[in-house]
């Protein structure tokens, strides 16, 4: 009797663990097919995430029939976290980070570290061309390459991002911001550029906007700071993938 009960428990745990593993793998494949996997990881790692999902599905299909549970405690330790991941994954709607996260993480506005030596060469060569296709991340990298504020006065730009009021910035400015992902959303950094408020700005925190204008230099906290002198600020549709890389 006891052996029969243990056998039934073993089969139940085996199937539960395998099914939950299939669900986790399936969720990764679902995110890929729904084009929402970039809400969580850098595009460079999409292939590996998809491959991991497929491998999880394959391994756990095999486990449905051939995996033996050696310890009930070990099985439960595997089962519960996996089930929690499955439930949260499928119940919570995949969404990108919002501007409110910038308030908690702090927002970089002066420069952005260059990790690829090729970036430096490309930025120097592109600086003499039309810069209106530069995004916020490219501009901050450029500030790192050449940090002299006067070099940017009069440079035209057109950038898209979320409207953000930073409590550490003096009144008279708002920030047009984006999130920069190096690996995944956990390491996402809010970045942005200060914009001079010109006229009545009727946007709310987190609204997506497009800012056209040129650069100028203003004193902020006693330092010469590169700011945008806007010629037009208008509402913009939130991009399907709001991150920069």
Domain boundary among the residues 64, 91, 118 is at 91
Range of the domain at 68: 2-91
* Residues 77 and 122 placed together within one structural domain of the fold: no
- 137 and 173 in a common domain: yes
CATH number, residue 229: 2.40.50.140
Split into its structural domains, the chain has a count of: 2
How high is the pLDDT of residue 148?
Answer: 86
Residue 136 CB-density burial (10 A; 0-12 exposed, 13-18 middle, 19+ buried): buried
- The H or E element spanning position 159 is strand 156-164
Low-confidence ranges of the chain (pLDDT < 50): 1-2, 114-118, 120-121, 124-126
Residues 58 and 112 in one domain: no
Is the same domain home to 188 and 207? yes
Instruction: Based on the fold, state whether residues 111 and 230 are members of the same structural domain.
Output: yes
Residue 110 and residue 7 share a domain: no
Q: Considering 34, 57, 91, which residue would you say is the last residue of a domain?
A: 91
Local structure of 214: helix, strand or coil: strand
pLDDT of residue 116: 46
Structure tokens at 137: 């991340």
Answer yes or no: do 36 and 104 share one domain: no
Q: What is the pLDDT of residues 230-241, one digit of tens each?
A: 999 999 998 888
- Is 175 found in the same domain as 114? yes
106 and 72 both lie in a single domain = no
Domain boundary among 45, 67, 91: 91
Q: Could you tell me the pTM of the whole model? A: 0.71
Main-chain dihedrals φ then ψ at residue 209, nearest 5 degrees = -135, 160
Q: Measure Cα distances from 9 to 23, 54, 62, 121, 187 in Å.
A: 21, 28, 19, 63, 41
119 and 220 in a single domain? The answer is: yes
Structure confidence by residue, pLDDT tens digits, 118-143:
454 455 444 556 777 889 988 888 88
Residues 152 and 195 in one domain: yes
Same domain for 79 and 144, yes or no, is: no
Q: How far apart are CA 45 and CA 184, in angstroms?
A: 9
| pLDDT score for 117 | 41
């Amino acid at each position: 009797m006891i052996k029969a009960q243990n056998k039934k428990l073993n089969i139940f745990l085996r199937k539960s663990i395998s099914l939950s593993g299939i669900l986790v793998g399936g969720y990764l494949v679902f995110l890929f097919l729904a084009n929402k996997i970039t809400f969580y990881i850098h595009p460079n790692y999409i292939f590996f995430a998809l491959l991991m999902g497929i491998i999880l599905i394959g391994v756990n299909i095999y486990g449905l029939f051939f995996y033996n549970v050696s310890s009930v405690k070990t099985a439960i330790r595997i089962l519960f976290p996996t089930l929690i991941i499955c439930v949260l994954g499928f119940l919570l709607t995949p969404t990108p980070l919002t501007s409110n996260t910038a308030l908690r993480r702090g927002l970089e506005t002066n420069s952005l570290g260059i990790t690829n030596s090729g970036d430096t060469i490309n930025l120097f060569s592109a600086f003499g061309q039309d810069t209106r296709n530069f995004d916020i991340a490219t501009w901050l990298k450029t500030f790192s390459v050449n940090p002299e504020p006067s070099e940017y006065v009069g440079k035209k730009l057109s950038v898209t991002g979320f409207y953000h009021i930073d409590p550490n910035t003096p009144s008279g400015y708002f920030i047009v911001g984006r999130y920069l992902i190096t690996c995944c959303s956990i390491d996402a950094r809010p970045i942005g550029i200060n914009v001079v408020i010109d006229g009545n700005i009727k946007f709310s925190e987190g609204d997506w906007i497009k800012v056209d204008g040129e650069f100028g230099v203003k004193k902020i906290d006693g330092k010469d700071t590169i700011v945008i002198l806007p010629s037009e600020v208008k509402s913009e549709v939130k991009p399907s993938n709001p991150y920069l890389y």
